[in-house]
A and B are shown apart, each in its own frame.
Chain A
């Protein structure tokens, strides 16, 4: 039972911002939004997470709408190495629930 909806694929030009959307209309009040990515032939890599405020780190920015029903992951200056499958996951943070459920994600292709 999918908690998030993501487009199956997106393209982005190198050097431009990549904006990856995620819908999570049934998100609960205690659930965080997590983003992971998986570069081909590698293990998934944590990117960022947030509850209701926008978050930024060295990799990306996360914008969560005020009603928390959707979010956008922003890679400000995409490079070829950012080509990967990006997963949006909603889950309570830690506690007794560590069962992250990975959907199909969005395949982001960064083109030269």
Chain B
């Protein structure tokens, strides 16, 4: 299995630009998560989906952030407009209901907003 695949791995963008992060979960998994990691705040859950439906988006910092999951094999996290404080590593992860909280993470998308 290829694991959770994220793109881009690294992105540097200017403040005010739109950023789109992409994720392909492990085939067959029915839960998908977006996490953000910074030195100051650690690893934070932003949003998670079950069967492509957003279940809890209480961790999304503000309206500039949005996430979609149009089908079982693809999700996006969009930031518009981006700000320097959005600089972080964004992880996508997926899980299968039967496996409880055994969650498989991707390698992350390293975002720098200048």
A residues neighboring B (CB under 8 Å): 32, 34, 38, 42-46, 49, 89, 91, 93-94, 98-104
Partner of A44, one of B95, B99, B105: B105
State the Cβ distance, A49 to closest chain B Cβ, in Å.
7
Partner of A93, one of B42, B50, B100: B100
A104, closest chain B residue (CB) = B42
When the two chains form their complex, are residues A43 and B93 in contact, meaning their CB atoms are under 8 A apart? yes
A contact residues around B97 at 8 Å (CB): 94
When the two chains form their complex, are residues A46 and B107 in contact, meaning their CB atoms are under 8 A apart? no
B residues neighboring A (CB under 8 Å): 4, 31, 33, 42-43, 45, 48, 50, 55-56, 91, 93, 95, 97-108
When the two chains form their complex, are residues B104 and A46 in contact, meaning their CB atoms are under 8 A apart? yes
Q: A43-B91, A98-B31, A99-B45 are in contact. Are A91 and B105 (CB under 8 A)?
A: no
Describe B's contact surface by its main secondary structure: strand
Complex Cα distance, B93 from A46, in Å, reads: 11
Complex Cα distance, B103 from A89, in Å, reads: 12
B contact residues around A49 at 8 Å (CB): 100-102
B contact residues around A44 at 8 Å (CB): 43, 91, 93, 103, 105
B contact residues around A45 at 8 Å (CB): 105
B105, closest chain A residue (CB) = A43
Listed residue (B43, B48, B95, B107) with the most chain A CB atoms within 10 angstroms of its CB? B43
